[in-house]
Structure 1
């Protein structure tokens, strides 16, 4: 061949001489001939014994593969043919034998009895496993991915195949065929080792294969046939032929299987994406390898003279532009084999490119943008928020959670939702990117919970959709989320929103749900109804509480308008902080006054630990509770920094500081006070003297203090005050304290700091009140089993239904009218949560406001199951839009009209969700009433402080009630309307100028307490997270005494259970409640006209243990000119120097009044009770003081005449409040002699204590 090309070089000369001759004798102009000659000639050196003729040996490599493939295929076919023939022959023999048996049955029987030959053995060994089967099973286990060995082997084979493909990429830069020395070529040695392993693995696969023929034709087998034998040939010939080694790229098709074996791919989309990519890339690389082979070798029939030099990567480029139909033409195939291959490849490659590439792009595009995993940051907590994730819910949550008044919030918020956020929500996340992350997934999927690191999260918050059409379904979804999260990590703290109260019971079925560990369920229906119920007792309280538990920024207004004072109060929030050790041993009122006057903080409650180490929240507990070491206080303040003053306060360093801003952390060491020091300090505060001048504790006490400590140690969790210990010490050392000092230290019963009602908190059996003796009648159930609510035997709904005429004859007044929109298919709103606060046991029976429901009877029948155990409840079937029904229930004489709707969530248009409530509210406000009923006596929702004489207002210095005319216009009726959509508040008041885009808390109806929206409760999620006691406090305030124990009881029976009165249950009545104090008359009248709010605060706290915390002021009270507007607004926690006006109503926390339960004979002449609460008419603040006495007599005569007319008109008709006592007010009270059972109880108590108060005249309420 070389001689044919050159013609001058002698045959058999060495390589170097031949090369020089070629270079010197070839014409320089024939460059094409040089290229062809170099492709044909195989370079070699004298050290490599290669073919001296330079002849190609590619056919030897190809023949080894072809012989292996077709030879093995031939052997398999021959084996199958022989096996088939053998089977056919055996089958024929069996058939002939069966035919003989049928024709000669006698001979067959004899043959069966005779001895069997060696060929006629039983076929028992056929059932045994042969060695071939065992080897086959072993090989199958070795290559199976079900075992660890199999997975390792499969992964190793794939990795070595990719390594062999890499070696091919390296060798592709060399000529197609070259001489190689196996002992000196490192890549050839590695490739040889790889192929030996492939050969062994091929043998295992062959043994384990059930169908050898199909195994021989598999893609992986073909790859082995054309890649493994040529390596052995190259070692034998000392030659290397690039050949078909590119087929190793077909192994990439198994890439998805390998990743599945390694548990890397788990989703269908990821598996499909990897499959498409691996098939596309392997086909692309394999086709490029074939083009590289034929184009660099040339056509065999052209004597390889039409070859061209193309690198492998140029071939890859050529195949890509060919598949994409671009075809630039810069690189193209010149050989016939290459062009023929390109023709068929275009057909298949174009189809594959057109189908695979769009699908790959679609899968990549549809890949979750938020599908990563959360990376926890050391030193920074994170919470997971899931559930109803929308722009509104997230923005409300972040606005409150990340509020600047919370100080530094070092918490990262991780949102998890199965739907990707829209553009607006995505923009919101980007604005808070430093503290907010979003991940797409579901909390029902454990994999997604692992992605957000739920096991290390500080808490998980679940938001509910307040506007859903099916509240029960929404609650069920949230309960399933709780179950999934608790199943994944039982110790995680969960705070979830619930829509319906009855669904809270399902959370108790979750074993790992533990409210003691911080798990909380915020029931929106329960709290919404509780807020509205408290507004029935003190109008405007719902607005004040909603603002306290929401984070609002201070908005300063220079003008002297009602908005200025309202917004100053809105800036206050509820905070918690531990009290300084300087307060240890002081009573709660003392600490409360000190914090308000000196620290400018309002303390309303504390977390108290009993001797059994059980914590409870006490709201305005009174003098009997002393501060412990590490007591947690609940404060009302404008930001968290101000509350720190209570923690930093030091009597030694800050006693003389007047500016509270200067109270910072001091360097004093604060050791725990000794017993004597704590007792003396408490005594000094009680007697009002300084510690130096106080002589309450004499030296004899100090000298005997060691004895006192040994006998009665004062721990930091002592329930009783120091006076209790002193009394115990006095019993053993009677000469220690003088009688005078005993009285000063609370030892005497008539001490103002240790009244009978205070002592009854600890031991009701010690000094029982008269009412307590009466209530402990074992034959009567007046309260539920917990003693927290008034109770009566269940009543049928027919007994409480009023017709329109019957309601008109009843002449209701001082009652609560509940207008409810709903039908037989509406979702239940949970009216029990509205009634329970109005039936709390800290009200006396005669103080309970009658409740009249006006609405669909079909709907109220569904709710009645939860209402039939409450007293003074009646129903008027009708519609709240009917003025006849409203007049029948005397809506102009009611204390509050509540407008609710159960149909609000069934409307798609948000602006129409509140149409019924808005229409009812406007309908009532446009009504007109005459004054034919007469002048009624009312107290403008104020009350007489406990202990004051109510019998003769003319002679008593206390005048807390005023006489005024009944309401004549519907606009003066106290109304609170529930709204779903905040923006609809603009339709309630036609005379306000609120902008539709104004936030709810800035609108006039909300500020006045006439509108309430459930959206204000969203802030409780973040408030509960930062302090789990906040939810307990607010539930204690608004629900009337609901406890976890009561919830467990309601979950079992779905109704309150009546219980007999015991000292323990009666003691539960002794808890404070919210009320409104009137300033235009009574003991605080001197402060009502220009006095300071701080003076009122201190006087009410010291005198009556009443804790004031806000003002309900007329909207135009700041104007100098008189105004006929009767609207009021809320002012939260005014400063000390805030000026009062006579028409103000003061929000306060009052103690339980034991004396209010006494005989109401003294009250028969007035209607100061709840039946005659005030109406906010235009004459509230316009009654001259000189006319009060004249109007008193007129009012009394008019009322008596009215009662007489009513009694004559009603006659012996049925009683509408079937559970009301026969002698209950406003009927004339009859004094009956004490029963024998009652007398026995009194004698029993007399034997236990000589300090029995005079027994009051008992009214029979049974």
Structure 2
């Protein structure tokens, strides 16, 4: 039957009257109550208040779903609201202007639902603190405009659709209901359910309003402009409007409908522009990055997690995939905690043949299962060296290692650590295993170790760095020095098992054969020591160490193909071959070794007596008696490991210098370290800088004073890690102030190191190096007369003159650390050499070629190096840190555990390891090597006569020295050339007085007996 206008008005007015009358009553009651409170100051009954408060608290607990009954109540209200909405959908199939008979079975069901809604409305009203605010809430408005018409329908015995479409707004509570049911747990699912509920409730409510006004017509026209439109068509119109398309097949004809569409279109612009793309992104990311990695039998893969950013991924892929395309058979699975950016997605698409991205966290076992960590070759964890909180970065990465090792203990883990003191936690993990390839790349340890080596030996920092830098850019050298320098950059550290024909031979003999016949430079071997109980690396072993079968050799060479010759070498087939290309795999089967096989021997003189005096602070004092007299390590107190010089802790105030006491501290041939930091800066770990400078393979007399210039607040925090190292001083001040530099006698220093400031947030990557750059410019501007030349480098200290008419000055030797390598152009002008390479690459700059700048950015490449060949990383750590490697650390831990650290043989051997130095051809022991016109001649002569291993050259051009890594055998030498060498500990490389019967100050350990001692 048809609903008259009076019946429709009764339904609508019932809700309007209820809303406004209730609001009026609440506002009036509030005003009256406030007036009563002002007039009467009587005390309320505490018992009544206590009862009301307890009752209200119970209702609030019920409505907030904090109890099981409350959860059931909230879920029931939502389900009944959806049920009432479904009844509306069913009734909407009838014409809007018609009233359904009370015989309709849906009417009593809907009446029952609304009776329950009335009860729930009453509970909410009682629990509300602010009744007026409650009355104006959306859920309250929905109840007010849907519940009264239901009771009117019971009174009138007829039902009308009216505003029952407002029940669709209850869909906004869908996320809360799903969380109560624990159907959603992740943030993405909560976000998606919220977006879905907003869109659906908006569509259904707007469609209900359009359905009502279009079927009823404008009231003032008494329905003459109405049109028959179904609820589905109304939804279609609303969706077309939301998408801002508007096809025009279904349109609003009433004035109310069109006015609503105008405002709804404006709202749709916001809704569609903000929510729909976000939903699409959620869908796309879920499908794209939440799937599991499928393991293919026979195909190797690694998992990379941690700091997955554009810069870190680019650097890692550049180094990991630097091999030829046919040689890469390992896929890379990146496990990132956030979806990749568009730029990162582009990188993955460029390397889609090798890379896969999976969204997840290494801290969750479910995500580790999805990337199949238990089947991976290794798990690599990348750190962010530019983060503002390095401690938090290290802690999170250590937790990732712990999670991975707990999930699958046999997983090989290679981790980057920023601060060295955090390394100690990793070996404590029960399943951590150095022997299976687990490794730690400590940025602070390596970075400061490189700089320390550059302070000990000018140019050595560049020499070592060039062995690990991969240069892919094509360069056209313009001047000769560029050709020599760039040619040296092609050499790398490579490993290769040596031919068994070398077994029983001494290292100098094998190194000479490799150099002469194969054009390979063998610098170190992996040696199994019986006396020491561990397998470690030895740089330039003495002639008394004999090689074993299957010995691993370390070479400086250009390609792995070249070093294969050391494995193919046959003493029979290749005895007369001096062309490297002809040394190939032979078919010779007569490998009966003519040399002594088995354990190598070290012959020690029986007249070499060792007395171990009581340790002072854990270090031994050793006195040696040899045929030439007594050589005593004067009070050489070493630490428990025997690796570093040690002293008793000194109060900090005694090590602090004052500008007024300059005459008291006339430093000369010392090292100045410029430090930037304050009381709140992250500690950079200056201990890692000091340890290589206090290595025990340098005698106490060879140690140089170290003077730190920086904030006292910062240096005080570092002092507890430095107080047991001798000859360390602090000057409170700044390298930006020339007066502080002169106070430490910088004009007499052997090297000035400018260390980058600790990690701090910066708006621009360029600004992270502001202080080191300004300090470098300040130091470079100091003009020091040549007469103030330091005694440590008479052979290499050169004077330069910008203008021949003016007096000559020399540069203060300096090495600057840059966090951002692209900042090299700010200090490149101080290089002093002509013929710069084009571009701003740090490793192609003249500053890098001369050894005056260092950047730890290349350390990212060590992650790939450690995966492919962790032995190379071991050698680098040994060279840079003063002799400490992971193998030695493991051995020292065992010694400490078993109480073996008082073994005099162990202490002696650790302090007697080789040291790196820079020797002149004229003023050192190399002057007696004849002939020495080429690098090959000086290499063979020094190795045969002195046991000194030559590695490279430091050549002077334009009054500046530049590094030449591994020159060719026939490379012509200049009289001014300096030679990078691995020098035995017992050899003093400076000449004594010529009149002296002993030309060199040499400590020789020679065999005087046939007895041997096993190593």
Q: TM-score range by the shorter chain?
A: 0.5 to 0.7
Aligned to 2:549: 629
5 Å-filtered alignment, 1:1206-1217, equals none
Aligned to 1:482: 401
CA contact (8 A) 2:449 2:689 kept: yes
Aligned to 2:538: 618
Matches of 2:238 and 2:657 in 1, distance apart? 90
CA contact (8 A) 1:648 1:663 kept: yes
Aligned to 2:768: 913
CA contact (8 A) 2:308 2:382 kept: yes
SS of 1:770's equivalent in the other structure is: strand
State the shift of 1:578 in Å: 1.9
Aligned to 1:591: 510
Q: Is 1:1130 equivalent to 2:963 in the alignment?
A: yes
Aligned to 1:853: 708
State the shift of 1:557 in Å: 4.1
Structure 1 gap segments, 5+ residues each: 1-139, 145-209, 215-251, 288-307, 334-338, 684-713, 725-745, 943-967, 1116-1124, 1170-1247, 1253-1262
5 Å-filtered alignment, 1:1073-1112, equals 1073-1082=915-924, 1084-1085=926-927, 1091-1112=933-954
SS of 1:1146's equivalent in the other structure is: strand
Aligned to 1:720: 600
State the shift of 1:892 in Å: 2.6
Aligned to 2:276: 361
Aligned to 1:582: 501
Aligned to 1:375: 293
Matches of 1:917 and 1:878 in 2, distance apart? 15
Matches of 2:369 and 2:186 in 1, distance apart? 14
Structure 2 gap segments, 5+ residues each: 1-67, 73-115, 121-170, 210-227, 613-619, 798-806, 1002-1006
State the shift of 1:265 in Å: 8.6
SS of 2:911's equivalent in the other structure is: coil
Aligned to 2:411: 492
Cα gap change, 1:461 to 1:507, in 2 (>3 Å): same
The higher radius of gyration belongs to 1
Tell me how large the CA RMSD over aligned residues is.
6.0
State the shift of 1:1249 in Å: 10
Q: Is 1:870 equivalent to 2:789 in the alignment?
A: no
CA contact (8 A) 1:538 1:941 kept: no
State the shift of 1:1094 in Å: 1.1
CA contact (8 A) 2:652 2:719 kept: yes
Matching residue within 603, 608, 629 for 2:522 = 603
Q: Is 1:972 equivalent to 2:811 in the alignment?
A: yes
State the shift of 1:489 in Å: 3.5
Aligned to 1:438: 357
Matches of 1:549 and 1:810 in 2, distance apart? 40
State the shift of 1:1111 in Å: 0.7
CA contact (8 A) 2:950 2:982 kept: yes
SS of 1:386's equivalent in the other structure is: strand
CA contact (8 A) 1:554 1:567 kept: no
Matches of 1:558 and 1:324 in 2, distance apart? 61
State the shift of 1:1044 in Å: 4.8
Cα gap change, 1:1082 to 1:996, in 2 (>3 Å): closer
CA contact (8 A) 2:534 2:891 kept: no
Matching residue within 526, 535, 538 for 2:457 = 538
Q: Is 1:1066 equivalent to 2:908 in the alignment?
A: yes
Matches of 1:406 and 1:1090 in 2, distance apart? 43
State the shift of 1:643 in Å: 2.3
Q: Is 1:528 equivalent to 2:447 in the alignment?
A: yes
State the shift of 1:910 in Å: 3.2
SS of 1:1136's equivalent in the other structure is: coil
Matches of 2:207 and 2:195 in 1, distance apart? 18
Matches of 1:1043 and 1:475 in 2, distance apart? 20
Cα gap change, 1:1071 to 1:973, in 2 (>3 Å): same
State the shift of 1:785 in Å: 0.8
SS of 2:282's equivalent in the other structure is: coil
Cα gap change, 1:933 to 1:369, in 2 (>3 Å): same
Aligned to 2:650: 795
State the shift of 1:637 in Å: 1.4
SS of 2:752's equivalent in the other structure is: strand
CA contact (8 A) 1:924 1:970 kept: no
Deviations 1:727-759 (A, max 9, x none): xxxxxxxxxxxxxxxxxxx8xx78xxx99799x
Aligned to 1:1241: none
CA contact (8 A) 1:276 1:360 kept: no
Cα gap change, 1:406 to 1:1084, in 2 (>3 Å): farther
Cα gap change, 1:1034 to 1:325, in 2 (>3 Å): closer
CA contact (8 A) 2:492 2:556 kept: yes
Cα gap change, 1:415 to 1:559, in 2 (>3 Å): same
Aligned to 2:564: 644
Matching residue within 812, 815, 824 for 2:667 = 812
5 Å-filtered alignment, 1:228-267, equals none
State the shift of 1:1045 in Å: 8.6
State the shift of 1:827 in Å: 2.5
SS of 2:675's equivalent in the other structure is: strand
Matches of 2:665 and 2:900 in 1, distance apart? 28
Matches of 1:407 and 1:1143 in 2, distance apart? 45
Aligned to 2:882: 1040
Matches of 1:554 and 1:322 in 2, distance apart? 56
Residues matched between the structures, number: 834
Matches of 1:610 and 1:1250 in 2, distance apart? 22
Aligned to 1:1150: 983
Deviates more, 1:1099-1108 or 1:813-822: 813-822
Cα gap change, 1:448 to 1:990, in 2 (>3 Å): farther
CA contact (8 A) 2:479 2:835 kept: no
TM-score between both structures, scaled by the size of structure 2: 0.68
SS of 1:1091's equivalent in the other structure is: coil
Matches of 1:1168 and 1:812 in 2, distance apart? 27
Cα gap change, 1:1102 to 1:484, in 2 (>3 Å): same
Q: Is 1:565 equivalent to 2:407 in the alignment?
A: no
Matches of 1:331 and 1:370 in 2, distance apart? 35
TM-score between both structures, scaled by the size of structure 1: 0.55
Matches of 1:792 and 1:1161 in 2, distance apart? 33
Deviates more, 1:618-627 or 1:399-408: 399-408
Matches of 2:670 and 2:237 in 1, distance apart? 91
SS of 1:821's equivalent in the other structure is: coil
Cα gap change, 1:768 to 1:847, in 2 (>3 Å): closer
Cα gap change, 1:314 to 1:912, in 2 (>3 Å): closer
Cα gap change, 1:808 to 1:908, in 2 (>3 Å): farther
State the shift of 1:1046 in Å: 8.2
CA contact (8 A) 1:574 1:637 kept: yes
Matches of 1:559 and 1:873 in 2, distance apart? 44
Cα gap change, 1:909 to 1:1129, in 2 (>3 Å): same
Cα gap change, 1:853 to 1:331, in 2 (>3 Å): closer
Matches of 1:925 and 1:1141 in 2, distance apart? 28
Matching residue within 732, 748, 753 for 1:893 = 748
SS of 2:544's equivalent in the other structure is: coil
Cα gap change, 1:607 to 1:870, in 2 (>3 Å): same
Matching residue within 422, 425, 428 for 2:347 = 428
Matches of 2:759 and 2:205 in 1, distance apart? 61
Deviations 1:1157-1200 (A, max 9, x none): 99x9999999999xxxxxxxxxxxxxxxxxxxxxxxxxxxxxxx
SS of 1:1148's equivalent in the other structure is: strand
SS of 2:972's equivalent in the other structure is: coil
Deviations 1:556-590 (A, max 9, x none): 64655211000100011112222233333332222
Matches of 1:925 and 1:997 in 2, distance apart? 23
Matches of 1:438 and 1:836 in 2, distance apart? 41
Cα gap change, 1:395 to 1:1093, in 2 (>3 Å): same
Aligned to 2:780: 925
Aligned to 1:295: none
SS of 1:798's equivalent in the other structure is: helix
SS of 2:327's equivalent in the other structure is: coil
